[in-house]
């Protein structure tokens, strides 16, 4: 089998919940990211794309069931370009890249575009269908924005706690202080702001038509641990998790072009990085924040390297506490992690975040001239995903 390579990555700016991208449909966000990443490869004939694999966590409204296919059509690609949509919740677009890389490696396609989208602002309320006609009682509309909904009563209660409560339990288990969480969160904002000011994201982020948003909306320059220390706990009285040390609700899309080495001529560009290893891991649902630990460890083993070889890590910051738990378990130098900011500042539009961390990792490896990097993400209901990239210019 051959190898799969990253050729280009792009994303929209990430908007805050009910913010600058609130009026933009998720299928239009997806089409924007798709057009944006292909614009970086003008030599690639879109008809050469063997498949589009798109991630989306909600899919209950304008995502339109198969938002990947909708993005292909709305982006103006040939109708002959196929597309599918995958759902591994927060890991959906990283899962899309995993699937796309396998497709390339197997020879089923030479070029695959992967990505993901989420509009958490526009996620609809849903009503369960009645079991019989004309029920007399009230029916509750359930938000599809985030977390459990319409829970099966057979599920054990300890599995179905809120995402915040699950991470408070993680905090208790590993003794990660509020002070460490706030310091980690403040660092995310400082580094993300610096990355934008340095121009790091200028080539990666594509504008959204009709939206006056030029950079990620959630970044708060000047954030300090002292400022964050003044926020109240969000999930437990006396708890440690606040709105400041957890990722917000967001809207956005990301995209990555994967291809074989032989496809470079048709793509019209040299590859950036090689997909060297990947893995999925699962734990008890309430332990989802810790699931990236073994996923990354397995991906590194499959790549034939260890943590001492890793020069950059992009870990999606769903919560500061789960990020710190993962870093502690890996015993990795925190200074190589999320050097250009993380999801606490940039945002976490569920289906788009995996593509963001993968694309960012490829560019960070090139910027820092490091050979090996890990992209990892935790996933609600007890899962984690990780991908190892090799910087081909440093090999």
Residues acting as catalytic residues? 90, 348, 378
What are the DSSP E strand ranges found in 120-234?
A: 125-126, 142-143
DSSP state of 337: B
Does residue 98 contact residue 278 with C-beta atoms inside 8 Å? yes
Q: Give the CA count within 13 Å in the CB-facing half-sphere of 375.
A: 31
Which residue from 278, 255, 281, 252 is spatially nearest to 343, judged by alpha carbons?
A: 252
Q: Which two tokens stand for residue 205?
A: 């982020």
Which residue from 378, 384, 340, 379 is spatially nearest to 361, judged by alpha carbons?
A: 340
Does residue 205 contact residue 10 with C-beta atoms inside 8 Å? yes
Does residue 345 contact residue 240 with C-beta atoms inside 8 Å? no
Q: Which two tokens stand for residue 97?
A: 């890249």
Q: Which two tokens stand for residue 379?
A: 């996933």
**51-55 and 250-259 strand pairing:** unpaired
CA distance 32 to 42: 16
């Amino acid at each position: 089998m051959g190898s799969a390579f990253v050729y280009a990555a792009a994303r929209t700016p990430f908007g805050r919940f009910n913010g600058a991208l609130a009026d933009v449909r998720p299928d239009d966000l997806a089409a924007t990211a798709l057009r944006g990443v292909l614009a970086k490869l003008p030599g690639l004939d879109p008809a050469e794309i063997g498949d589009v694999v798109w991630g989306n966590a909600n899919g209950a409204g304008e995502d339109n069931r198969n938002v990947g296919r909708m993005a292909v059509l709305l982006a103006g690609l040939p109708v002959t370009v196929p597309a599918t949509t995958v759902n591994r919740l927060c890991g959906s677009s990283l899962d899309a890249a995993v699937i796309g890389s396998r497709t390339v490696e197997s020879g089923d396609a030479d070029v695959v575009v992967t990505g993901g989208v989420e509009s958490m602002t526009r996620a609809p309320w849903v009503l369960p269908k009645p079991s019989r006609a004309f029920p007399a009682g009230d029916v509750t509309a359930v938000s599809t924005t985030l977390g459990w909904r319409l829970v099966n009563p057979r599920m054990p209660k300890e599995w179905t706690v809120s995402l915040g409560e699950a991470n408070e339990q993680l905090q208790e288990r590993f003794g990660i202080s509020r002070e460490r969480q706030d310091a980690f969160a403040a660092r995310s904002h400082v580094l993300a702001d610096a990355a934008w000011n340095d121009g790091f994201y200028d080539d990666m982020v594509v504008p959204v038509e009709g939206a006056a948003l030029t950079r990620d909306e959630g970044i708060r320059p000047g954030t300090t641990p002292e400022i964050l220390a003044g926020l109240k706990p969000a999930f437990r009285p006396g708890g440690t998790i606040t709105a400041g040390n957890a990722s917000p609700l967001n809207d956005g899309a990301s995209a990555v072009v994967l291809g074989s080495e032989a496809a470079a001529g048709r793509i019209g560009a040299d590859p950036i990085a090689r997909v060297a290893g990947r893995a999925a891991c699962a734990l008890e649902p309430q332990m989802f924040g810790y699931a990236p630990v073994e996923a990354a460890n397995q991906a590194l083993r499959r790549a034939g390297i260890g943590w001492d070889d890793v020069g950059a890590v992009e870990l999606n910051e769903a919560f500061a506490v789960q990020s710190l738990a993962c870093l502690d378990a890996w015993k990795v130098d925190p200074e190589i992690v999320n050097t250009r900011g993380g999801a606490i500042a940039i945002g976490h539009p569920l289906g788009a975040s995996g593509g963001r961390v993968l694309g960012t990792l490829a560019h960070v490896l090139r910027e820092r001239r490091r050979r090996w990097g890990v992209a990892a993400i935790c996933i609600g209901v007890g899962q984690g995903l990780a991908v190892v990239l090799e910087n081909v210019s440093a090999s």
